[in-house]
Amino acid sequence: MSITVVFFLGLFVALIGVIPPGLLNMTAARISLKEGPGRGITFSSGVCLVVFIQTYVAAIFARYLSNRPDIVEILQRVAFVIFVLITIYFLIIARNQKETKVEADVRSKKSRFFHGMFLSALNVFPIPYQAYMTITMASFGWMDFERTSIITYVTGAAMGTFVMLYFYIFFFDKIKDKKFTSQKNMNYSIGAITGLVALITFINILKEL
């Protein structure tokens, strides 16, 4: 598989994971609104450094699991159930939750780079998420676990995270009052994304039966 394709796979998978409003992208938006885009970019750089490390760890873990098909089969079924439950939650339950507003007040005056690293390190979701996605893509033959492929994918994931944080930094103030950024529509978006991942997982399970 071309390293260009692998790079964009990493970028796309990371974009999907960061699109929904969360701690990292909302913090980047708040910092930008309060202290300027430059500080928001500094914060995002710290986030992406940790994402690079987390994704690399996830890929190495996935490479190990790829040699244990029995464990992969179990994880695929567990992941399928989890993604289905998350989809149901966001499509049926979470759509009724109250809207939340982004506050511009950011009190921390510490280095935004290390601030980004710290918050990103607290968010361990990318490790199981990326481990599962790399295993899935490898099973489809879209990537392999050679060192070059892993580094390319990890770089793409870090870049994808930065691109989405960049979007929040520079455009959130302009779109925050738009209908499509409402919490209800964001819940639908998250549900659609997890539903798509669940469908891919289900297809992969059927292929191995």
Q: What's residue 105's pLDDT?
A: 46
CA distance 194 to 192: 6
CA distance 146 to 1: 11
Q: What's residue 103's pLDDT?
A: 47
What percent of the chain stands above pLDDT 70? 80
- Span 198-208, average pLDDT: 78
Tens digit of each residue's pLDDT (9 = 90 or more) over 114-136? 999 999 998 877 888 888 888 88
C-alpha distances out from residue 127 to 17, 121, 163, Å: 11, 11, 19
- Span 173-194, average pLDDT: 62
Q: Is 142 exposed, middle or buried (0-12, 13-18, 19+ CB in 10 A)?
A: middle
CA distance 3 to 76: 26
Q: What's residue 92's pLDDT?
A: 76
Q: How many other CB atoms sit within 10 Å of the CB of residue 2? A: 10
Which of 71-80, 101-110, 111-120 shows the lowest per-residue confidence on average (mean pLDDT)?
A: 101-110
Q: What's residue 182's pLDDT?
A: 55
- Span 84-91, average pLDDT: 79
Q: What's residue 97's pLDDT?
A: 55
Instruction: Give the pLDDT band of residue 104 (cuts 50, 70, 90).
Output: very low
CA distance 10 to 159: 8
Higher pLDDT, 208 or 28: 28
End-to-end CA distance of the chain: 26
Q: Which helix (H) or strand (E) holds 209?
A: none
CA distance 172 to 37: 11
- Span 162-191, average pLDDT: 70
Higher pLDDT, 139 or 146: 146
Tens digit of each residue's pLDDT (9 = 90 or more) over 2-60? 889 999 999 999 988 787 667 788 888 888 888 888 999 999 999 999 999 999 999 99
